[in-house]
Structure 1
Amino acid sequence: MNKLQAMEVFIQVVDCGSFTRAAEMLDLPKATVSTLIQSLESALAVKLLHRTTRQVMITSDGAAYYERCVQILSDVRDAEESLSRHRLSPSGRLRVDTPTGLSSEILVPALPGFFERYPDITLELGSTDRPVDLVEEGVDCAVRGGELVDPNLIARRIGVINFVTCASPDYIARYGMPQHPRDLERHRCVNYFSARTGKIAKWDFTRDGERIEVALAGQIALNDSNAYVHAGLAGLGIIMMTDYLLAGHIAAGRIVPVLPEWRMDPLPVHVVYPQNRHLSAKVRVFVEWISELFANHPHLRLQAPRPQAQAAQTAAQAV
């Protein structure tokens, strides 16, 4: 038995809660995964996992062994990287998940610079406004907007996202310009709903210490930020979206700001990764690169934090 391989398989089974899923993630036959776990238990003379037809549960001995395995494999990788050229030139597959608008507007245009700096990394970039389970879906790290509530993730704050309310010139010509957030109740507004909960995000506005929160009826609701922007451009109604997605359209006159004195609270943006997963060189350099990218972007650079409204947290996946 390859003890290090068995440890890695054991960690993956615990993380996934499934022999089948662990085998898929490791690209191994399920029988091989089962055999390695059985060999490991025999060598240790302890039961590491309780297995039923429906689930896999870790034992108390298994939990203690899991923590030691994570540390041992982390130390082994650190030792290998310290003696390898990959410390200076990271390589291998890197799976990253980002919101759709951020991916298309910010990350993808900047990737030539990333690959010029790190030519040996193969990037798999998932783009979705649905929050993913990093461990279950094999994601190395993810970019997320809003306050974080998952204690199993380590987060590094890299920037902030601001929102702007807009409508197309055709819409304004037809329905007029609202002067106050309450006026939106008489307008057509495009809503955004959570891909996770299906809940419609409320519209939240602040001005000079005054806060107004409104729930607006609309003919259409979307859960994809790029589609949401195009709904506004098509004149379907008033939208509230991240300013970096709308800046070019505003400059070109395709869409115009509405209620410019009323703003939504900004959202913090983080890079997150599982706390029990080794932070490899390829993940480390990606985190540093995207932090630098945000720091140099006029709409995303880190600012002093402001209080977050509940509506802002609900809309976090729209970034």
Structure 2
Amino acid sequence: MEVITMMRVFAAVARRGSFTAAAASMSLPRSSVSTAVRDLEAHLGARLLNRTTRQVSLTADGALYLEKCRQLLAELDDMREMFRPAAAISGGLRIDAPTRIGRLVIAPALPAFLTRHPALDLYLTVADRQIDLARDGVDCAIRVGDLKDSRLGARRLCEVDMLTCASPAYLERHGAPRSVRDLSDHYAINYAASPERHASKFDFQTKDGVMKIAMRARVSVNNAETYIACAEAGLGVIQVPAYDVEEQLASGSLIEILPEARPVPEPLSLVFPQPGKQSARLRAFIEWATPLLRGRLSSKK
């Protein structure tokens, strides 16, 4: 087996965390996948994977090699696509999105994108946490909020309206706040994407500038779906992107409070592992996703 093919097999095993899953994704016998990785390790003189009966994980050398391997394979794919028409774009593309954007915006629109590019395979991960794009082999991530990693390439698309909401049952028990300062007597639902991250204070735009309010909370969650569900259950007040609660506002299960003092809008961006390096597959996704996301999520739609 050629070295380039062995590299593709190794990258697939690393991505799937399993020889069996990698074999299935590449339509190869499991024995061929195992042999390819073993031969690649022999070729390099380094152990790339730790193998146990239950899982496969990268060694330190494997993690370093995987990053370079993905870069080289992406370059080779780009060179191949230079001479193909747009309709012939092929290969795999890994996209990461927040849970609600993935479910409400991307997934329903995907049939049109895949029909336009029938030889393209897309792997969509949805999670309400920040990931390492390079380590996880992600080509593009959709992000809401300020970007903190300056190493990433980014395209800012628009701003997203934020709302403060609570359920009718909660407001009946605690009363509707008449001003931002009234919230000191209310409960919030804390949102933290990981256990190590503390929930932020709520912010509000007022005539005196942006006010940050700390509220009591008895419930903390790390998932947008659960965050909204807890608000519908009457457990407290939430601040959430407007697109996340369109259905709840329409049905009346949530009510916007303090609309005259909405939170500061959040930026919506597409981010990439490397600035300026975009494959034809990625460019096709950006061309499709940009008007879709702006039209569906922008505060100025």
TM-score, length of structure 2 as denominator length:
0.77
Question: Which whole-Å CA distance do the structure 2 matches of 1:242 and 1:270 have between them?
Answer: 14
* Deviations 1:214-260, CA, capped at 9 Å, x for gaps: 22111211111111111111222221111111122212222211111
Q: What code does the residue aligned with 1:300 have?
A: S
Q: Taking structure 1 as reference, are residues 284 and 209 closer, same or farther at Cα in structure 2, changes over 3 Å only? A: farther
Question: Which whole-Å CA distance do the structure 1 matches of 2:117 and 2:62 have between them?
Answer: 39
Aligned length: 279
Say if 1:97 and 1:126, in contact at 8 Å, map to a contact too. Answer: yes
* Deviations 1:33-56, CA, capped at 9 Å, x for gaps: 323334xxxxxxxxxx999x9733
| Structure 2 residues without counterparts, runs of 5 or longer | 24-32, 51-58
1:242 is aligned to: 241
2:217 is aligned to: 218
The reply to whether residue 296 of structure 1 matches residue 288 of structure 2 is no
The reply to whether residue 266 of structure 1 matches residue 271 of structure 2 is no
Q: What code does the residue aligned with 2:267 have?
A: P
1:311 is aligned to: none
Q: How does 1:1-319 map to 2 (within 5 A)?
A: 2=2, 28-29=33-34, 30-38=37-45, 55-56=60-61, 76-85=76-85, 87-195=86-194, 197-275=196-274, 279-297=278-296, 299-300=297-298
Q: Taking structure 1 as reference, are residues 247 and 8 closer, same or farther at Cα in structure 2, changes over 3 Å only? A: closer
Question: Which whole-Å CA distance do the structure 2 matches of 1:88 and 1:207 have between them?
Answer: 50
Question: Which whole-Å CA distance do the structure 2 matches of 1:116 and 1:6 have between them?
Answer: 31
Q: What code does the residue aligned with 2:204 have?
A: F
1:309 is aligned to: none
| Structure 1 residues without counterparts, runs of 5 or longer | 13-17, 39-48, 304-319
Identity of aligned residues (%): 31
C-alpha displacement of 1:275: 0.9
Question: Which whole-Å CA distance do the structure 1 matches of 2:62 and 2:112 have between them?
Answer: 44
* Deviations 1:106-159, CA, capped at 9 Å, x for gaps: 212222222232233222211110211222222222111222222332111122
2:55 is aligned to: none
3-state SS, counterpart of residue 296 of structure 1? helix
3-state SS, counterpart of residue 182 of structure 2? helix
Question: Which whole-Å CA distance do the structure 2 matches of 1:282 and 1:70 have between them?
Answer: 15
Q: Taking structure 1 as reference, are residues 231 and 57 closer, same or farther at Cα in structure 2, changes over 3 Å only? A: closer
- When the two chains are superposed, the root-mean-square deviation of aligned CA atoms in Å is 3.7
Say if 1:166 and 1:238, in contact at 8 Å, map to a contact too. Answer: yes
Deviating runs (4+, > 3 A) in structure 1?
1-10, 21-30, 53-59, 73-79
Q: Taking structure 1 as reference, are residues 213 and 285 closer, same or farther at Cα in structure 2, changes over 3 Å only? A: same
Q: Taking structure 1 as reference, are residues 58 and 190 closer, same or farther at Cα in structure 2, changes over 3 Å only? A: closer
